[in-house]
């Protein structure tokens, strides 16, 4: 029960963080490209890679990975939102922007997850 509560608290923190980051970025960058969504997906991927590496290389409790990964990063990252943003961009007729956004989310998130894993091994 304690782990589930910790995941819930971390999820609440991740959701609030996502809202604040997305709002701050959206307020500063006009246009249809969803920079806030991309930012939280990339940040969450890096954090998850880093925590996975810390568990792997530095004997951090796997419970930390569950709390941070499922809770915080699960609420912080927005793959369903990213999908919706891609569909919205297609509906707006900006196909190139939709493609760049979709590929950037996938490729950059995978790269920074690997970077987080590598950094944790240091």
Whole-number pLDDT of residue 90: 92
Whole-number pLDDT of residue 31: 83
For 30, the 3-state DSSP assignment is coil
Whole-number pLDDT of residue 79: 81
- State percent of the chain over pLDDT 70: 100
Whole-number pLDDT of residue 64: 92
Nearest to 103 by CA among 18, 38, 45, 47: 38
Is the pLDDT at 10 greater than 90? The verdict is yes
* Residues 42 and 112 sit within 8 Å (Cβ to Cβ): yes
Distance, in Å, from the CA atom of 54 to the CA atom of 117, rounded to the nearest integer, reads 8
Whole-number pLDDT of residue 59: 84
- pLDDT digit string (tens) for 69-119? 899 999 999 887 888 889 889 999 999 999 999 999 999 999 999 999 999
Whole-number pLDDT of residue 23: 94
Whole-number pLDDT of residue 80: 73
DSSP 93: T
Distance, in Å, from the CA atom of 48 to the CA atom of 21, rounded to the nearest integer, reads 17
The pLDDT of 47-62, averaged and rounded, is 88
The alpha carbon of 79 is separated from its chain's Cα centroid by a whole number of angstroms, namely 8
Whole-number pLDDT of residue 6: 97
């Amino acid at each position: 029960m304690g782990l589930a509560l910790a995941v819930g608290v971390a999820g609440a923190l991740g959701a609030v963080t996502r809202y604040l980051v997305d709002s701050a970025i959206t307020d500063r960058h006009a246009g249809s490209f969803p920079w806030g969504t991309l930012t939280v997906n990339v940040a969450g991927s890096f954090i998850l890679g880093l925590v996975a590496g810390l568990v792997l290389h530095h004997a951090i409790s796997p419970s930390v990975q569950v709390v941070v990964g499922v809770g915080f990063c699960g609420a912080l990252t927005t793959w369903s939102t990213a999908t919706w943003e891609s569909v919205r961009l297609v509906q707006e007729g900006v196909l190139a922007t939709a493609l760049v956004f979709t590929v950037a989310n996938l490729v950059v998130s995978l790269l920074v997850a690997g970077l987080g894993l590598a950094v944790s091994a240091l």
